Structure 1
Amino acid sequence: MKLSKKIRQFLIEPLQAQFQQQIQQVQDQLSQAKADNAATKLVMGAALAKLVKQATSIQEAEFKVFSQFGDDGIIQYLINHVKPRVDTFVEFGVEDYEEANTRFLMMNNNWKGLIIDGSPTFINYIKTRTFFWRYSLKAVASFITAENINQLLIDNGIVGPIGLLSIDIDGNDYWVWKAITAVEADIVVIEYNSLFGSERALTAPYRPDFRREKAHYSYLYFGASLPALCDLAIEKGYAFVGCNQAGNNAYFVKKEKLNGLPALSVEEGYVYSRFRENRNQEGVMCFLDGAERSALIEGLPVINTRTNREEYL
């Protein structure tokens, strides 16, 4: 026992300490690489943000810094036109905030805001990032439902007018936006499901525990159609101003804040998505295109938001 203890003390423990030190060095290097990459992106994004002022449409304004697609540019374009009352944002469904609609807005324009994600792991990671202390950002771990969203906003001091609301929770997006009364955003960006079509006002049925990956193996059964969101926007006093070119985010502006921006019909602004994130029954991405994607969810139940009756895709 004594010999074993000495071997551990003089051989194994130093090796373990050395290994842990090496791991920490690699982690530090990765963090620095991310920081350097973010700094480069910010410089390039700042230059693009100045050029966006000359754009004549939201599609022309698109560019990506931290957003998944071209939404960073669209948001810069819209805040230049809308002149939001308050430089505060709220974004739901940010995951680790590496790809998000509001991160460039925060870092380039010094906006403050609240981000919410259902994963404590993601939120804890965000709180370790340099930008978390450099900017006025609250990060909250909570699974969002129509029942808890207003209290979440109130508990975190976000009430009344805000500049921008971004909703991307892969499921109950329509129902959560419908439920929100605690804040009134000048600009709303919300994910829509282009596979639900451009004619019927449809949404996935509401379930407080809705999870996209469990709702259907394809990952394509979630959210709402653009007509459903446009109807809801009208009820809330918004005008539809367009979608991103990727066909997954729709943009709405308070009618009194349009400042010359054209309000569009669904027919004028609808964009059909072409990204291929669908999966087969084994959970493996299968990269189906076009109508093949729609076939995966054909026959699934949806709610017609105009009649409040169940229909089928």
Structure 2
Amino acid sequence: MNFVRVLTSLLSRLRRVDSIETRAVYLQEAMGRIEARQTENARTLREAEFRVFSQWGEDGIIQFLVRHVPIADKTFVEFGVQDYLESSTRFLVVKDHWSGLVIDGSAENVEKIRHSEIYWRHRLRAECAFITRDNINDVIRSAGFAGDIGLLSVDIDGNDYWVWQAVDVVKPRIVIAEYNARFGAERAVSVPYDAQFVRGRAHYSMIYYGASLAALTELGETKGYALVGCNSAGNNAFFVRKDVLPAILPRVSAREAYVPACFREARDPSGQLSFLSTEDEQKLLETLPLVDLRS
């Protein structure tokens, strides 16, 4: 009998926690709608920034971009989403009713997404896959996405350059790509391609990953995209396909758009924050292999 009472009490507490979490998500969405209305007259990416479900100010920037870039098919592909509670595209789903594909390498994360309220309320598909440049097109195609789509978000903390380079099954009008600001504004470099790359295993510092802004900008040019700016946190770059680039979004160079990272990530060998200066981070990265994409 005591066991039944304890179990009943525990289930009751879990229900209350779930209710609190759900209400918190609804509150986030409501505040985001207010922010979206307040930034409707923004003229630049920076003025438009606000955060609802994104890590930094990407929600506002995306709202700004989809307001000005003509989108024929309101669909997206985003990979590296974890459990999708913090992501670049979630606000598009709940506010603007976009549909899309989210991909993560963790089966646990994908199951959590599939059992969440957003999954049955909206046209969302979640797939589990460890993304490589060799499987990315097959993963997207097999999920039913191809051709002209609204947005692609690339954030896998590693082979970002190589995977975006490989993507050809979809032709997004907007691309969000994470860059590693520690590589500076001038160099076009990336970590070498490694199909098994995992940031935490590649180097204890956690800052050895991805590509420079210049590398992604030059790649974008070859794929038909113009860089239109970066977020103020200094980790995400925004590209628009040239054939749909509106006048309000002038293309900029990597040097003009570059924003240094304003957050701490560097760890010591024990996994603790090391509080390295930018200069020390750059010195550490110089000891690790990089691919010069202009050579």
Both proteins in one fold, TM over 0.5: yes
Amino acid at match of 1:170: D
Q: Which runs of 5+ in 2 are unaligned?
A: none
Secondary structure class of the residue paired with 1:60: helix
Residue 32 in 1 paired to residue 19 in 2?
yes
Across the two proteins, how many residue pairs are aligned to each other? 294
Tell me: CA distance 1:21–1:142, structure 2 relative to 1, closer, same or farther (3 Å): farther
Cα deviation 1:9-67 (Å, max 9, x = unaligned): xxxxx444433333322222222111111111111111211222211110110000000
SS of equivalent to 1:218? coil
Matched, 1:115 2:108: no
Match of 1:146 among 133, 150, 154: 133
RMSD between aligned residues: 1.1
How far did residue 151 of structure 1 move?
0.3
Structure 1 CA distance for aligned equivalents of residues 138 and 5 of structure 2: 48
Aligned pair in 2 of structure 1 residues 271, 17: CA closer, same or farther (>3 Å)? same
* Residue aligning to 1:293: 281
Asked if 1:235 corresponds to 2:218, the answer is: no
Aligned match of 1:156: 143
AA aligned to 1:138 is R
Structure 2 counterpart of 1:277: 265
> What are the Cα deviations for residues 97-135 of structure 1, in whole angstroms up to 9, with x where unaligned?
111000011101000000000001111111221111000
Counterpart of 1:59 in 2: which secondary structure? helix
Give the structure 2 partner of residue 105 of structure 1. Answer: 92
1:87 aligns with 2:69: no
Give the one of 235, 239, 246 matched to 1:252: 239
TM-score, normalisation: structure 1: 0.91
The one-letter amino acid paired with 2:123 is S
302 and 157 in structure 1: CA distance in 2 versus 1, 3 angstrom threshold: same
Please say which of residues 274-283 and 179-188 is displaced more in the overlay.
274-283
* Structure ID, larger Rg: 1
Corresponding letter in the other structure for 1:267: R
Matched, 1:135 2:122: yes
Residues 69 and 246 in structure 1, CA contact (< 8 A), matched pair in contact too: yes
1:63 aligns with 2:50: yes
Whichever residue aligns with residue 78 of structure 1, its letter is L
Q: Which residue of 2 aligns with 1:4?
A: none
Q: In 1, Cα distance between the equivalents of 2:282 and 2:17?
A: 40
Identity %: 45
Asked if structure 2 preserves the Cα contact closer than 8 Å seen for 1:52 and 1:76, the reply is no
Kept in 2, the 8 Å contact 1:161–1:185? The answer is: yes
Contact 1:85 1:186 survives alignment (8 Å): no
* Partners of 2:266 and 2:88 in 1: CA distance: 22
1:11 equivalent in structure 2: none
Offset of residue 284 of structure 1? 1.4
| Structure-2 separation of matches of 1:133 and 1:232 | 37
**Matching residue's letter, 1:300:** L
Are residue 217 (structure 1) and residue 209 (structure 2) matched?
A: no
Q: Give the Å deviation of 1:185.
A: 0.2
Deviations 1:142-175 (A, max 9, x none): 1000000000011000000110000100000000
Partner of 1:78 in structure 2? Answer: 65
Q: Output the CA distance in 2 between the equivalents of 1:50 and 1:257.
A: 24
Whole-Å separation in 2 of the counterparts to 1:276 and 1:22:
41
Q: Are 1:178 and 2:165 an aligned pair? A: yes
SS in 2 for 1:139: strand
Amino acid at match of 2:170: V
Unaligned ranges ≥5, structure 1:
1-13, 308-313
